[in-house]
Amino acid sequence: MSRVIAWFATNPIAANLLMGFVLIAGLVVSSGLYREEFPDISPGIIQITVAYPGGAPAEIEESICVRIEESLDGAEGVEHIRSLAIDDACRVSVELLDSADPHVVLADINGRIDTIERFPENAEKPIVDHIVVHIPVIDLSLSGNASERTLKRVGKRLRDELLALPGVTQVELHFARPYEIAIEVSEKALRRYGLSFDEVAGAIRRSSLDLPGGKLRARDGQIRLRTTGQAYWGRDFERLILLTDSDGSEVALGDVAQVVDGFEERDLEIRIDGEPAVMVRVLRVGRQDALDIRERVGEYLAQETGWLPEGIRVGIWLDHSEEIRERLGTLFENALLGLALVLTVLALFLRFRLAFWVAAGLPIVFLGALTLFPWLGFSLNTITVMSFILALGIVVDDAIVVGENIYSHQQRGVDRLRAAIEGTQEVYVPVIFGVLTTMAAFAPLILVGGNMTAMFSGIGVGVMACLVFSIIESQWILPAHLASVALAEERPTMGLRNVQERVSGALERFVVKRYRPLLERAIQQRYMVLAASAGLIIFLTALLASGRIAYEFIPPVEGDHVSAVLKMAPGTSMQASRAIVEELERSAQALRLELEAERTVEEAPIVNHVISAIGTQPFRQMLTVSFAEEAAQDASSAEVTLALSPSAQRSLGAHEISDRWRQRVSLQPEVTSLVFSADMFNAGRAIDIQLRGADLDTLEHVAREVRARLEAIPGVIDLQDSFSSAQREIELRLRPEARPLGLTLQDLARQVRQAFYGEEVQRIQRGVDEVRVMVRYPLEERRSLTGLDALRVRTRDGAEVPLSTVAQLMPRRALPSIRRVDRTRVVNVAADVDRSRTTPARATRALEAELPELLAEFPGVSYRLEGAQQEDAEASTGLLGGFLLALAGIYALLAIPLRSYVQPLIIMSVIPFGALGAILGHLVLRMPLTFFSVVGMVALAGVVVNASLMLVHFRNRLGQSEMSPSDAILAAGQTRFRPILLTSLTTFAGLLPLILERSMPLQTMVPMAVSLASGVLLSTVFTLVLVPCEMAVLEDLQRRLVRVRAPLGDSETSPQRG
């Protein structure tokens, strides 16, 4: 390395060419990087969906879910299997191990599913998909006083025109029901014409079809034969001939049935400010740039929407690109401000030319790191820009150490070139190994488990990429530049020189008159200093173990929406749900007027829109970055959301608005769960307890007990559980009297299904839409038990008998959904907390203290933590394992250049004090510890050892002279005081803007900056005081060891002398 340093120092053209190449390559590569808010998340989930139209959850669990679970037994790469049995479908989610190859596991699962011999007769073919999270860019709303068909038609055209824009490849239409043609035949019409559902369905299939007939092979060429008669619209089906009498008279389908060319029977309704609406979502795919897509969509909305029908408006519901622009813009502002503060610190302590060349290395470092992004698969996003801010004050440390040492050589009269070479060569060992220890400390971020892997690995790799180029810049480029600069002869302007001289003089006086005497006294009382330091570590450990320091995995980030998510009793009708939602809307509008009366003239309107939904929960699904439903939703699920102005334009926070809305709403008896949320992001429910057991009745009882205990814990709010109330059900059984009539259970089940669910007679392709054609009773005959009583069962000889004569009708109650995890039934009890009264960790500990006693009464029931607690456990496990490896790596990287087993331990002894500084920083700023705080402490381990490494390395160099050990320790402390202080101040200055940032989207990341900045400051104090004391103690031990060995050596040689 010494030769390479000397070669670049003597060849400035090579150094400048290297610098120019890095800068140009960085600019070229950065111009092609795509921008996004967060890195793409790959959840590592394979989902198996089997639709079973009309199936009940209990039947679906037994006949589909369990069979799929059994087929997956022993599959490699599978960590957990989660099943959900709901009305009409079974969904099995297979969670993969981090080490598994999704493509290999997907192929294996497909093969295993194919081996299942049979599913229920009406079950559809299984769909096996590897879940890919699509990142939304913008959500548009179409609303107005228009029919559902008009809104869907307009929504489809808007979707198609957006898809035609350059660079836009994925647009989805949401909350519009699929088309369906319903052929409704009443029982009265069936009896009048002597028909059955089988006959109606058969006649439609025979009359509505297109069928190729082969080819006529004539001499003059082939002629294709084709029979056509497929019906595509309701009026076409009405004209189909159902019956033909012997006299030639015909009965058309329209004479017997009412044909409704409408929409699928599904409880779904969404309104914006009281008007019907649909939504169009524009997504980013792969490496597309989110801001470019948003720009193109914005231009289209401004210029190309004149075709919209009168009364229909297109608006922006959620603009995710604004969050990207705000986050990246704010981070870049923080980076520039941090750079300015770093330059200010450098200018105060260093000569202007030296400060300039030290700071000039930052563009080389950052642009160099950007050149690696395409090969690393990284984009320009919140995480990578955050990594640059964290690295800002760290990467400049190398240049400070090298530049300050070159300046010291020039001050002693050494010529510029020799000073550059020797000054760099003297410190390259601690500089390079210091960088390697920092990289080792950031490496555990790559090992963070759970869904946070992409986020934290981006920070770790981003910082390490910067550190690689910081070595290149400080060792090869900077010495070549400083070799041509007369630092010691610089004559700064009078004002700057006066400031520098005052700062330098004050610092020198402090070192001589304050620091050195303090260090002398500390070394004299070194054992007392060590004892006091050990006491601080014990205090820190006790403080953490006591739980007095508030901790939360990732606190929810306040957003610009407030939502009320409702869950009502299963089977709730659309009319009943609409009445409850309308009451919530009225309370929201009343709050809106109240807030408008309170706001000042300068403020923007606080509430822009009120969005209500029945049969779906769009805002809740938006928090999961996917509109994919995790469970079938009907009229028992609803949501009302307030769309607020951006936080910077209003004085009230979203949580305060949420609390005021909550106080206005009284819980109706029909509502089983009402949860208010004002978060733009959360890592899961604050408290989520998953109960496991085989018996559902026992699980229900335990869930109620757990819920009661949670309600008794102060500060716990918004409780809910996945054990839905039982839904009414009628079970039909064949009477013995039916068998002489030739009826079987299959006949009974099929005819009841045809009447009330319907029989699918065809699926037709109408343009881009697949339309189901269903035959069933009219809706009026399916609204009450009267229609069931009126049902006539047809025997095989055409006779009609009342349902009650051939079937027993047994009222029961059944679950609307059944959840299973790893082939065991589960129930989740979840809640949020009022963070002004408690924390999720404290509430969870209080509950866990009671659970063993409760579960002792139910031996077959166990529990585990889910939600944010589970994410915390998974992420912490990976981080802890990585941290232990990092400590081992740091020790090895220190032991190699120092050639000592003990000195690395002295250097690493400052790591706990860095953690202490991080905790004190959180307490001073009144911030709770978060997982980001812990990540900052882990990264801190590699940063704080650098100053200690410089101190110990310099003391070892002085020890090789005739200087006594104590004088060498004092001289090392005094000599290295300024560079150690300077590197700490630049690190702190680079992070200070982010610490003071008040933008809500960035509050999640502030704790990491607090940990690094406050930890560096406190650890610097212990580096300058504790480390010299430890080196003095080591000298004591070495002297005592020599005294012990001396008599042993004499005794071994005395017989020989004798």
**pLDDT computed for residue 497 by the predictor:** 62
**pLDDT computed for residue 961 by the predictor:** 65
pLDDT mean over 871-883: 79
Asked whether the domain spanning 502-556+866-1040 has the same topology as the one spanning 1-32+350-487, the reply is yes
| Strand 179-184, strand 769-776: pairing | parallel
Residue of 602 and 402 predicted with greater confidence: 402
Name the token pair of 574. 């659309």
**pLDDT computed for residue 1039 by the predictor:** 81
**pLDDT computed for residue 1049 by the predictor:** 57
**pLDDT computed for residue 69 by the predictor:** 92
Return all residues near 1028 (Cβ < 8 A) that are at least 6 apart.
519, 522, 523, 951, 955, 969, 970, 972, 973
**pLDDT computed for residue 548 by the predictor:** 72
CB 410 within 8 A of CB 419: yes
Beta strands in 113-248 (DSSP E): 127-130, 135-144, 170-174, 179-184, 211-218, 221-227, 241-244
Q: Can you state the percent helix, strand and coil of the chain, rounding each to 5?
A: 55, 20, 25
**pLDDT computed for residue 36 by the predictor:** 79
Q: Among 3.40.640.10, 2.60.40.10, 1.20.1640.10, 3.40.1160.10, what is the CATH number of 1-32+350-487?
A: 1.20.1640.10
Instruction: Kindly list the distances between the CA atom of residue 988 and the CA atoms of 86, 89, 793, in Å, as whole numbers in the listed order.
Output: 54, 56, 82
CB 634 within 8 A of CB 659: no
**pLDDT computed for residue 748 by the predictor:** 92
Residue of 483 and 807 predicted with greater confidence: 807
pLDDT mean over 289-301: 90
Q: CA–CA separation, 224 vs 309, rounded Å? A: 44
Report which secondary-structure segment, H or E, holds 85. Answer: strand 78-86
Give 822-872 pLDDT, tens digit per residue: 989 888 888 888 887 888 888 888 888 888 888 888 888 898 888 777 777
| Strand 862-865, strand 687-692: pairing | antiparallel
Q: What angle do CA 529, 535, 536 make, to 5 degrees?
A: 95
Scanning 443-525, the segments in alpha helix (DSSP H) are 453-472, 478-482, 494-509, 516-524
pLDDT mean over 307-331: 83
Q: Which of 417-426, 494-503, 607-616, 637-646 has the lowest mean pLDDT?
A: 494-503
**pLDDT computed for residue 1047 by the predictor:** 63
Give 244-253 pLDDT, tens digit per residue: 887 888 899 9
Whose tokens are 């790959």? That residue is 42
pLDDT mean over 499-516: 81
CB 41 within 8 A of CB 134: no
Instruction: Kindly list the distances between the CA atom of residue 924 and the CA atoms of 813, 981, 1020, in Å, as whole numbers in the listed order.
Output: 56, 22, 18
pLDDT mean over 95-123: 88
Average pLDDT of every residue of the chain = 85
Residue of 192 and 493 predicted with greater confidence: 192
**pLDDT computed for residue 150 by the predictor:** 94
Q: CA–CA separation, 432 vs 447, rounded Å? A: 24
Q: CA–CA separation, 506 vs 488, rounded Å? A: 19
Report which DSSP code applies to 683: S
Beta strands in 744-797 (DSSP E): 759-766, 769-776, 792-794
Q: Which band of pLDDT confidence, cut at 50, 70 and 90, is reported for residue 626?
A: very low
**pLDDT computed for residue 629 by the predictor:** 39
On the question of pLDDT at 260 being above 90, the answer is: yes
**pLDDT computed for residue 173 by the predictor:** 92
Sign of CA dihedral 949, 951, 956, 957: positive
On the question of pLDDT at 971 being above 60, the answer is: yes
Q: Which of 173-187, 313-327, 461-475, 699-713 has the lowest mean pLDDT?
A: 313-327
Which residue from 782, 863, 877 is spatially nearest to 830, judged by alpha carbons?
Answer: 863
pLDDT mean over 225-237: 92
**pLDDT computed for residue 205 by the predictor:** 93
Q: Among 1.10.10.60, 3.40.50.1820, 3.30.70.1430, 3.40.50.1370, what is the CATH number of 42-132?
A: 3.30.70.1430
**pLDDT computed for residue 603 by the predictor:** 78
DSSP string, 665-679: ----TTEEEEEEEEE
Most confidently predicted of 109-113, 132-136, 645-649:
109-113
Instruction: Kindly list the distances between the CA atom of residue 468 and the CA atoms of 339, 358, 945, in Å, as whole numbers in the listed order.
Output: 19, 16, 18
Query: Taking the chain, what is the end-to-end CA distance rounded to the nearest angstrom?
Result: 53
Please write down the HEC assignment for all residues of 89-135.
Answer: EEEEEEEECCCCCHHHHHHHHHHHHHCCCCCCCCCCCCEEEECCCCE
DSSP string, 504-535: HHHHHHIIIIIIHHHHHHHHHTHHHHHHHHHH
Phi-psi category of residue 825: left, alpha or beta, with phi > 0 → left and psi -120 to 50 → alpha: beta
pLDDT mean over 331-360: 78
Q: CA–CA separation, 497 vs 348, rounded Å? A: 9
Name the token pair of 589. 């509008």
Q: Where are the domains of the chain?
A: 1-32+350-487, 42-132, 186-256+728-814, 502-556+866-1040, 566-712+818-864
Most confidently predicted of 334-343, 536-545, 715-724, 924-933:
924-933
Distance of CA 569 to the CA centre of its chain: 31
Q: Which band of pLDDT confidence, cut at 50, 70 and 90, is reported for residue 621?
A: low
Return all residues near 919 (Cβ < 8 A) that are at least 6 apart.
540, 543, 544, 549, 929
Q: CA–CA separation, 1022 vs 1029, rounded Å? A: 10
Q: Which band of pLDDT confidence, cut at 50, 70 and 90, is reported for residue 628?
A: very low
Give 420-438 pLDDT, tens digit per residue: 888 888 888 888 888 888 8
pTM, two decimals, is 0.79
On the question of pLDDT at 1045 being above 70, the answer is: no
Report which DSSP code applies to 63: I
CATH architecture group of domain 186-256+728-814: 2-Layer Sandwich (3.30)
Scanning 260-319, the segments in alpha helix (DSSP H) are 290-303
Q: CA–CA separation, 654 vs 661, rounded Å? A: 10
Whose tokens are 């390259």? That residue is 428
Sign of CA dihedral 502, 505, 508, 512: negative
Whose tokens are 């609803």? That residue is 638
Residue 542: count other Cβ atoms within 10 Å of its Cβ: 10
Return all residues near 840 (Cβ < 8 A) that are at least 6 apart.
552, 553, 686, 687, 833, 868, 869
Give 573-615 pLDDT, tens digit per residue: 888 899 999 999 999 999 999 988 888 877 788 888 899 999 8
On the question of pLDDT at 48 being above 90, the answer is: yes
Whose tokens are 């510890």? That residue is 929
Give 171-214 pLDDT, tens digit per residue: 999 999 999 999 999 999 999 998 999 999 999 999 999 999 88
Which residue from 479, 482, 445, 480 is spatially nearest to 461, judged by alpha carbons?
Answer: 445
Q: CA–CA separation, 485 vs 574, rounded Å? A: 80
502-556+866-1040: CATH topology: Multidrug efflux transporter AcrB transmembrane fold (1.20.1640)
On the question of pLDDT at 543 being above 80, the answer is: no
Name the token pair of 153. 């038609």
On the question of pLDDT at 1055 being above 60, the answer is: no
**pLDDT computed for residue 240 by the predictor:** 93
- Give exposure, 980-1009, as e/b (b: 16+ Cβ within 10 Å): bbbbbbbbbbbbbbbbebebbbbbbbbbbb
Q: Which band of pLDDT confidence, cut at 50, 70 and 90, is reported for residue 998?
A: confident
Burial class (CB in 10 A: 0-12, 13-18, 19+), 428: buried
Q: CA–CA separation, 531 vs 541, rounded Å? A: 15
Q: Which of 55-64, 731-740, 982-991 has the lowest mean pLDDT?
A: 982-991
- Give exposure, 567-600, as e/b (b: 16+ Cβ within 10 Å): bbbbbbeeebbbebbeebbebbeebbeebeeebe
On the question of pLDDT at 403 being above 60, the answer is: yes
